[in-house]
Structures are given as structure tokens and as C-alpha cells.
């Protein structure tokens, strides 16, 4: 009788685009880092039909970069180990799950699941819009030279849902050159998570 050995691999990749939809200016365009421990738990809970664990929030922070007296920027490494990992200094977040009743604008802060028949990968596009009036206590113009400004973002991550807002686990973390959110500009984040399933079928008969 044949002895079949089936091995499978799941790959996760992330890509971040931050842009201004009022003028199509692209501010950031880069890959992110995955917190594999927390993401594996999120995937297991999602396909087990649990009420927690799935992607729910996008978090912004300003603690991942520093500037010296010469103006050189130093970036910290992404936080991708330890189940309690977080952004270095989270300062703002939005619920992006369009099925969550706490999402204040599900038409602009939402998920799209994209799959091409026959392919072994599926993309989740997470869209988040910071409108002109968000956050409510932002500066009037995007001309700050301070890295300590709460809304001069240099890090961003997706977090899972744990039953109440702002209590979930960090699933991804990306660090980038500072981007200030101010009253005079829109900022939209398009965050693509690609999940790939690769299976090797081996006949050991």
C-alpha cells in the first residue's frame, strides 16, 4: 500500500502604501514585517470560527525613529517577537473591520478579500482613511519638524480583535520615514496581506 506524505507551507507577506488621495501623492511604499507567533494564532482562531483573533485595528505610532544633531535618522527594528509585542509608542488607532459596529466609517475603513481562481494565494486589502479632521487634536499644517509630535507617524501595525477595542495582539509592524498627519491633508493607508498556501505531495510507496 502506498505511503503518502503531504507537507504544506503557509507564507505571509505584507505591503504598505501610504498616500494622499486628494493629489495621489505616494508617501510610503514598502514591505512590512510579520509577527509570526501572533499571526499563527490569529489564523487558527479565524478558521476555527472564534469570536476573537481576527484583524480588527490599524495602529499608528511615533516611537520607531530618532534624529541626531546632524539630521541623520536612525530606525529601530520591527517588534515581531513576544506575544505582548507592541508599537514602540502607539499614539492613534482606528477600527478597520467593516463588520465591527464600532467602525465609524466602514465604507472607507474596510477589508477586501481578493482571490484569483487557480492561484494558491489570497490577498487581504486593509484600507484606512485618516480624514481631514482626524485626529481631532492634530496640528493645522503638516510642517512640523518635531519627531515627538504624536501624529508624525513612523511606525504602523495591524492588531487582532480581543473583544474590546485596543486590547488585541500585534500582527504586523512596519517602520518608515516620518509622515505627519495634519488638518490640511488626507492620508490613506492601503495595507495588503498576502497569504500563500503551498503543498508538496510526495508518494513514498
93-135 confidence digits (pLDDT tens): 999 999 999 999 999 999 999 999 999 999 999 999 999 999 9
Which residue carries 474590546 as its cell? 164
Q: What is the pLDDT of residues 6-48, one digit of tens each?
A: 556 788 999 999 999 999 999 999 999 999 999 999 999 999 9
Give pTM, 2 decimals: 0.91
Residues in contact with 6: Cβ distance below 8 Å, sequence separation at least 6, in sequence order:
199, 200, 201, 202
Question: Whole-angstrom Cα distance, residue 85 to residue 120?
Answer: 30
Q: What is the pLDDT of residues 70-92, one digit of tens each?
A: 888 999 999 999 999 999 999 99
Q: In 3-state terms, what secondary structure has residue 42?
A: helix
Amino acid at each position: 500500500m502506498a505511503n503518502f506524505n503531504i507537507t504544506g507551507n503557509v507564507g505571509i507577506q505584507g505591503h504598505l502604501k501610504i498616500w494622499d488621495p486628494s493629489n495621489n501623492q505616494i508617501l510610503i511604499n514598502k514591505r512590512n514585517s510579520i509577527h509570526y507567533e501572533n499571526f499563527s494564532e490569529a489564523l487558527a482562531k479565524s478558521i476555527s470560527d472564534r469570536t476573537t483573533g481576527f484583524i480588527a485595528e490599524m495602529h499608528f505610532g511615533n516611537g520607531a525613529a530618532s534624529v541626531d544633531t546632524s539630521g541623520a535618522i536612525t530606525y529601530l527594528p520591527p517588534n515581531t517577537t513576544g506575544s505582548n509585542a507592541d508599537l514602540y509608542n502607539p499614539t492613534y488607532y482606528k477600527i478597520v473591520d467593516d463588520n465591527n459596529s464600532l467602525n465609524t466609517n466602514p465604507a472607507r475603513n474596510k477589508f477586501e478579500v481578493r482571490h484569483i481562481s487557480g492561484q494558491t494565494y489570497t490577498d487581504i486589502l486593509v484600507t484606512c482613511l485618516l480624514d481631514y479632521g482626524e485626529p481631532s487634536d492634530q496640528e493645522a499644517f503638516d510642517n512640523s519638524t518635531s519627531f515627538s509630535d504624536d501624529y508624525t507617524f513612523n511606525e504602523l501595525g495591524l492588531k487582532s480583535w480581543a473583544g474590546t477595542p485596543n486590547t488585541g495582539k500585534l500582527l504586523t509592524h512596519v517602520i518608515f520615514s516620518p509622515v505627519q498627519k495634519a488638518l490640511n491633508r488626507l492620508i490613506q493607508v492601503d495595507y495588503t496581506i498576502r497569504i500563500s498556501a503551498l503543498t508538496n505531495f510526495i508518494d513514498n510507496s
